[in-house]
Amino acid sequence: MTKLGRLYPLLDSVGLPDNLPYTQVSDWELRFLYLVGRHHLAGRDRIVELGSGGGGSTYALALGLRESPVFDEQTGRLHAYDFFRVGKGTFATEKFFTAGAKPDGENSFLDDFRTTLGPFLPFLEIHAGDIWQTSDPDDTTPIEFLHIDIAKTARVFRCVSERFLTRLRPGSVVLHQDFAGPRLPWLHYSTGALLPYIEIAGPPIRSTLAFEVTRPISEDVLKRISEDAFSLDEKLALISAVQERVDRDHTGGIPFKSVLELAKAYVAHYAGEHRRAWSIAKPLTGDEYLSRTRADHFEQLRKAYEADRATGGGSRLTRLVRKAVRG
Ligand SMILES: C[S@@+](CC[C@H](N)C(=O)[O-])C[C@H]1O[C@@H](n2cnc3c(N)ncnc32)[C@H](O)[C@@H]1O
């Protein structure tokens, strides 16, 4: 069993306070964050959360650190990154305000976050703003723990991979909160590229895949991940490699093999290969979980395919670009 795997049997016994802030992660994931902080992390290297939102996930992790017998609040630091404001392109919701809605003339929920996380402020370092601006390209300090709940776009994932994944060392722990999101396939194929260097903790906990780095990650692999330098077929093969390692999540509710298959369709979709995307996605429309939870994804992929068919597969230029992307 992996070191992180030892936390799974403890999940049922965690009781978190009732007054946690509004959160978009499940109770299971909050408990896992608490357990990682309480039983796994030492706090000697950086502890980083990317995408703290209203602070629900931050709170659970910080509480675990506070109750840890080894984390030293004088020297250990939990770094929280977020826009801490609502608005176009932020992916933040008004529910992150304590009032549950945006007050007139106010976009920032940073003060609410500070108030909510008040008990932990002495060891919390807040980085408010776009992660491309608030993270330091020259920072090479090792990261012990990385919670990734921010990589909603390829642009942001590039920042995550360039400035954070490069700082992982053997023993570092990563939690990918959006692993059940087929529209974010960069999470899946990058994990496939990292497989030789990591150990997956166990079944995902709801949407979160956890892994531990077991050997130094090749610089070349990190560069390819940052530069998204994989052909379409390579990306699909990398996702297939992850499919061999994950099945249903810990609660039994999410069939990851199917979710990852739909992520492959999105790889093709983003490459402009709409016919191929739909040929991957169509057989999945019969999947009970996906048809119940991802009807909008099927609709998007089907429409793109039909529009593509109507134009005979796109212009000559589009076809040339696709050929280049395929590699
Ligand atoms: C799903 S929410 C985080 C939810 C949170 N972990 C919780 O417990 O509810 C994603 C967060 O990512 C942040 N985010 C997305 N892109 C960002 C960027 N480029 N820079 C900083 N924050 C970003 C949003 O502001 C949003 O709060």
Record the tokens describing residue 214, joined without a space: 């077991």
Among 230, 325, 195, smallest CA distance to 272 is for 325
Residue 54: pLDDT band with limits 50, 70, 90: very high
Pocket probe mutation, ligand 1, options 20, 88, 91, max atoms within 8 Å of Cβ:
91
In percent, the amount of the chain with pLDDT more than 90 equals 94
Q: What is the mean pLDDT of residues 38-42?
A: 97
For residue range 248-261, what is the model confidence (pLDDT) as tens digits?
Answer: 999 999 999 999 99
Residue 123 to residue 60: CA distance in whole angstroms: 14
Q: Name 60's Cβ contacts closer than 8 Å, sequence gap at least 6.
A: 16, 20, 30, 31, 33, 34, 37
Task: For 246-268, give the DSSP string.
Answer: --B-TTS--BHHHHHHHHHHHHH
Q: Is the pLDDT of residue 323 over 70?
A: no
Confirm if 60 and 156 have CB atoms less than 8 A apart: no
The rounded distance, in Å, linking the Cα atoms of 64 and 11 is 13
Sign of CA dihedral 141, 218, 156, 38: negative
**pTM value?**
0.95
User: Residue 24 Cα, ligand 1 centroid: separation in angstroms?
Assistant: 10
Q: Which residue has the tokens 């993270």?
A: 135
What is the position in ligand 1's atom list of the atom closest to the CA of 58? 8
Distance 107 CA to ligand 1 centre (A): 14
- Residue 320's pLDDT is what? 66
Predicted confidence at residue 2, as pLDDT, reads 77
For a ligand 1 pocket test, name from 28, 82, 102, 148 the mutation site with the most ligand atoms within 8 angstroms of its C-beta.
82
Instruction: Give pLDDT tens digits for 300-317.
Output: 999 999 999 998 776 566
